[in-house]
Chain A
Amino acid sequence: MSGRPRRGRGLRRGALILAAALSGCGSYTSTLEPVREDLRRGDPQAALAEFGGGAAPDSAGRNRLLFLMEKGNLLRLAGRPADAEPLLLEADLVSDMQRGIDLSDEAGALLTSDAAREFRGADYEKVMINYVLASCYVQQDQLEEALVECRRVGEKLTVLNDAYARENVYRDDAFVRWLMGALFEAGGDLDDALVAYRNSLRVYEDDYSRHYGLQPPVQVASDVLRLCRMLALDDLYAEYASRYPEADPPPQAPAGSGQLVVVIESGRIPRKVERDFTAYTEDRVYRLALPAMPKRRVRRHYFDVSCAGLAERAWLAEDLVEIARKNLEDQAGRDLARAIARLAAKAGVSEAGEELMEEITGEENGCVSEGFGALLSLLGAATEQADLRGWLTLPARMHVARLRLPAGTHDVVIRRDGARTGVLRGVEIADGDVEMRFVYTE
């Protein structure tokens, strides 16, 4: 009997050593940290080189989707939207094809961890494939193709929502709806633009304020009012004007002017961290590991866009940090259920291994069989890892500014917290046109 406490202490020590060894193997989040650091320094070219130089996840195996998402986005950030396009289109196709349950994948994950499963991405990540693609098309002046991507978001979210038994938190994307409105407006389709702006406002009102603490932006209400006025929809104008008295749509654009819409992507989405729970008995170790998003505050910046003596404060259109956090919380029940099933399976394997060894040695409760059961239990605990994979080159937030400018060529200055952070040079504004630009900053 005196050996038992010693075995318990040994197990504890063994678990600690194995866990330390595994953490030293390098998780996806730590492997990608140099890439994120390059992005933080505002050097997407270096980030792309770093990614190609070994930081990339496996490009052909279970992380194929993640590889396509990250590389596609890095190419876009590096100013190569045409090169990013085929990768992101493939990512969308791969994601679309990931259906049902892969039994061998699930069986493998049951005996190791969720990180062994094929990466399928969170719902918001699936939607962001289409947003990133849309921005690539806008940069190549292909507005019709950008609209195709926005429509894909609507269809994708309908399918995702239908697949859940209970109401999904991230059931629509207000920012993508707004972007759709801006694209319709740029293409001269004012009816559809109005519908899209109204849908965007509805999602901000119903979902974003409730789940992510993002109140309906008054600028979206202004867009609705502006379009109502242009389409001479007086009743609708009155309805929205009474609901949003602070919204102040600009007067009809004078001849010889156009609009500049700037989408500012700032920061990087936070990494997931592992939360683990370990329990010991005298000959067994039980460990659960789940992904979590740290609660620490991500600093919020404000942005100003100025040009030709005009300045506009950009409004917060999308808070991906909050969306990602809520999405993870929404998934927590499913993650926990899988972790418990994994725990039970691993415990079963330890017991079965011990019994098998008893049969082989012919010795009940012998040192060899008990030691073998403890070893299996130790391995089960050591292989338990939270799935921390995620699209880590995505921005933390998106801000939007809309300026009305005289037709001509302009230099546009972007300021973060009052300090100059970038300049868009030679922006061509044509009479009556809507020009869209995407800016990436920390």
Chain B
Amino acid sequence: MSRLLAAFAVAALAVLAACGGRTVTRTDTDTTTDLSGRWNDTDARMVADSMVDQALNGDWLVEHGRGREGYEKPVVVVGSVINRSSEHISTDVFMNEIQRALLESGLVRLSAGRGEDPEVRAERYDQQRFASPETAAEFGQEVGADYVMMGSVDSITDEEGDTRAVYYQVSLELIDVETALKVWMGSLEIKKIIEW
């Protein structure tokens, strides 16, 4: 009888444990997890991978003088990526990944972009006041960018009944700061079908 009671108690505990609480599982960041159908980490990763591939294989590096004697790696500064879609998309997620991959390729140099340079300049200013003269960073020594990278995210949504189709287009371009010529353009299209 006591065994039977114990078995009941264990079963009841198991049921209770299964009923409540939240489960958290660590997963590989490459795993595709589409829950709501909205823009997510998988889309951001696709954009970063594709854009890095397109940018590093573009002709603009050759035209800049890659392979020629006395070649200096181009300096790129990241400008704004405008979100013109109907979803809140953090463009920083894929732009940070793109910058990291560009830097690691060793083919370009990156200059501090919008939002970063004021902090760097404030630090330089503070060093002039508080650091020893030998170690203080000098004014007027920043390396000017050769190119600005900017872009946009657009989307079109179509919906009928319980089916929604969302088309995203992410475009990036590199613009020569001196000539204002566009030297490279990359884009990625993503289409999703969401069914309820």
Query: Are both chains from one complex?
Result: yes
Complex interface: chain B residues within 8 A of A147 (CB): 84
Q: Which of A155-196 contact B (CB under 8 A)?
A: 155, 158-159, 162
Interface status of A100 (Cβ within 8 A of chain B): yes
What interface size band does chain A fall in? 10 to 19
A99 touches B86 (CB 8 A): no
Taking CB atoms, residues of chain A closer than 8 Å to B157 are 155
| B85 at interface, CB cutoff 8 A | yes
Residues of A within 8 A of B82 (CB): 144
User: What's the A-B contact tally at a CB cutoff of 8 Å?
Assistant: 29
| Interface presence of B129 (CB below 8 A) | no
Complex-state Cα separation, A155 to B159, whole angstroms? 9
Q: Does A125 contact B (CB under 8 A)?
A: no
* CB of B87 within 8 Å of the partner chain: yes
Of B82, B86, B159, which is in contact with the most chain A CB atoms at under 10 Å from its CB?
B86
- Interface size of B by CB at 8 A reads 13
**B87: which A residues are within 8 A, CB to CB?**
148
Inter-subunit contact A99/B83 (CB<8 Å):
no
- Measured CA separation A159–B163 after assembly (Å): 11
Bound-complex Cα distance A100 to B196 (A)? 9
- A89 cross-chain contacts in B, Cβ below 8 A: 88
Q: Which residues of chain A are near B160, meaning CB under 8 Å?
A: 162
Quick one: which of A99, A159, A162 contacts B196, CB cutoff 8 A? Answer: A99
Give the distance in Å from the alpha carbon of A162 to the alpha carbon of B159 in the complex.
Answer: 9
- Tell yes or no: B29 within 8 A of A by CB: no
Q: Which residue of chain A lies nearest to B157 when distances are taken between CB atoms in the complex? A: A155
Given the complex of chains A and B, what is the CA–CA distance between A394 and B185 in angstroms? 46
CA of A145 to CA of B84, assembled, Å: 9
Query: Do the beta carbons of B86 and A148 come within 8 Å of each other?
Result: yes
A-B contact pairs, 25 of them (CB 8 A): A89-B88, A93-B36, A97-B196, A99-B162, A99-B196, A100-B162, A100-B196, A144-B82, A144-B83, A145-B83, A145-B88, A147-B84, A148-B83, A148-B85, A148-B87, A148-B88, A151-B85, A151-B86, A154-B86, A155-B86, A155-B157, A158-B159, A159-B159, A162-B159, A162-B160
